[in-house]
Amino acid sequence: MMRIVRHCVLLATLAACAKNPQVVRDSGQPSTPTVAIDAGPLTGSIDSSSGVLVFRGVPYAAPPVGNLRWRAPMPAPHWTAVRAADRLGKNCMQAQIYSDIDPFAAGVSEDCLYLNVWTTALGTSAKRPVMVWIYGGGYNAGFGGEERHNGARLAQKGAVVVTFNYRLGIFGFLSHPALAAETPEGASGNYAILDQIAALQWVQRNIARFGGDPSRVTIFGESAGGSSVAALIASPLAKGLFHRGILQSGNAIGGVRPPASVHDEGIRFASTVGITGTGSDALARLRAIPADSLLRATRPPNATGGFGSTFAPRLVSDGWVLPRTIDSSLARGTANVVPVIVGATGGEGDGAYASARAFARLTSAQHANAYLYLFTRVGDDSANRRRGAYHSADITFTFGRPRPILESAGRTAYDSTLAEAMSDYWVAFATTGDPNGPPSAGKRPRWPVYEKTTDAYMELGPEIVARSALRRSVYDSLDAVGRARGEVRP
């Protein structure tokens, strides 16, 4: 088992030891893994099935409650006693709007800015690639501690994995003139993206103590998580915080709104809870409303799934977090251009793959490598054959699980092979920026770099095979539609 050898009595000594903790084998009973981060000392746990070290419920920012509601996250308070990091923190305020996302086991609260770490080595000498997962859920649902986001298998393959919570719905995206007026930047909304930036800043300050290399950080996410990766690529506030990106079934092309329209939506929502006006008094009354009352106001009784809400969370080009749209930032060369993997699932429709191809083209035009994919795995039963490779079907395979968590996803004879291959590619990309490096090198088909001339992509499904020019005329036509809407489609 692993034991952290420390000779630290005073907290100051403990902090000094944390810079180079020693990890040794111990034939006796397993001890508790301990790390001192910038805010204070932590004890984690050892996963009994994998042997991976896990730290859960680590605060990365102050609770965004009271007067901190609808503000950029503030630093987490420091502590002196050793803090147990062996259970999830509370999840951000949300209803259960999807059957496969249950946030209530850990509870929901505005006090929700916590993260989780999986690693197999502690100390600054390990220098392992870091993979930071951003969950999906339409910006209305989700949390970093979902079991399908368990980072143990990726950690076993050599990565340090981080997942975290960020504010959702009305708490993460309310844009209102009164909120804009109180900030020096004149911006409001995008609080969820500011949370994500705060989590990445925490990674830069602390991840070396968990064996991670802060100069090799990959952000990856699915659906709204993929759109968040795109937003971080476009945000000047995230510059230098990450070095590669993976966008799964979401890239925010065409998904960023101008401030005026979302301000109007914010004013309309405030009126539904009895608050009118755009002055500081209206804002004070909004902040005084209990969190559960605000949440109920966004979810009428007839709302189902992600539909029917009275408030739709949207990314906004606020001039600060997002100075312009995602595609415009990439095309102008003002984005944090990094190598990317980008793709979609086969059942999501032509529009999803067309926008993924557009993101690959925008990235490659800025002289960074892009790797395009289409996920085509479908369960063998008739129900799954009818619905195809549905949205979010790829998540568990990304995390290297040998079979999907949901029974409704069905089974195939190649599930384990696909999960091993995808997680190999993802870890290899996090390691070097090339999915063809270790641990996939020599074991997996070579994934070609995207080029506009060939439209090369990797199919990930019953076959793991490189192909080219998928339905090119169809996607060229959809690009033309996007251009007509004002999008940049190279």
Question: Which H helix or E strand runs over 17?
Answer: helix 11-17
Span of 17-31, 40-54, 116-130, 382-396 with lowest mean pLDDT: 17-31
pLDDT recorded at residue 383: 86
pLDDT band at 309 (very low <50, low <70, confident <90, very high): confident
List Cβ neighbours of 361 (8 Å cut-off, separation of 6 or more): 370, 450, 452, 489, 490
Helix ranges (DSSP H) in 18-118 = none
Span of 220-234, 247-261, 299-313, 393-407 with lowest mean pLDDT: 299-313
pLDDT recorded at residue 301: 65
User: How many Å apart are CA 378 and CA 416, to the nearest integer?
Assistant: 13
Please say if the pLDDT value at position 486 is more than 70: yes
Work out the average pLDDT over 306-330.
89
Residue 43 included in any domain: no
pLDDT band at 406 (very low <50, low <70, confident <90, very high): confident
Residue 21 included in any domain: no
* 117, β-bridge pairs: 55, 162
Residue 17 included in any domain: no
Q: Structural domain of residue 164, as residue ranges?
A: 48-257+312-484
Provide, rounded to the nearest whole percent, the portion of the chain with pLDDT above 70. Answer: 92
Q: Catalytic amino acids? A: 223, 348, 391
* 132, β-bridge pairs: 162, 219
pLDDT recorded at residue 306: 56
Q: Would you tell me how many other CB atoms lie within 10 Å of the CB of residue 401? A: 20
> Do residues 419 and 402 make contact, with C-beta atoms less than 8 angstroms apart?
yes
Question: Which H helix or E strand runs over 246?
Answer: strand 244-248
Q: Which among 327, 332, 300 is positioned nearest to 315, based on CA atoms?
A: 327
Domain count, the chain: 1
Please say if the pLDDT value at position 45 is more than 90: yes
pLDDT band at 4 (very low <50, low <70, confident <90, very high): very low
Residue 239 included in any domain: yes
Residue 303 included in any domain: no
Q: Which among 198, 247, 240 is positioned nearest to 215, based on CA atoms?
A: 240
CATH number at residue 81: 3.40.50.1820
pLDDT band at 307 (very low <50, low <70, confident <90, very high): low
pLDDT in tens, 191-203: 999 999 999 999 9
pLDDT recorded at residue 303: 63
Work out the average pLDDT over 125-148.
96
User: How many Å apart are CA 132 and CA 231, to the nearest integer?
Assistant: 15
Work out the average pLDDT over 459-463.
97
Residue 263 included in any domain: no
pLDDT recorded at residue 308: 61
pLDDT in tens, 359-370: 999 999 999 999
pLDDT band at 310 (very low <50, low <70, confident <90, very high): confident
Q: Would you tell me how many other CB atoms lie within 10 Å of the CB of residue 438? A: 15
pLDDT recorded at residue 387: 87
Residue 289 included in any domain: no
Residue 406 included in any domain: yes
pLDDT in tens, 347-388: 999 999 999 999 999 999 999 999 999 999 999 888 888 888
| Burial annotation 384-393 (CB, 10 A radius, 16+ → b, else e) | beeebbbbbb
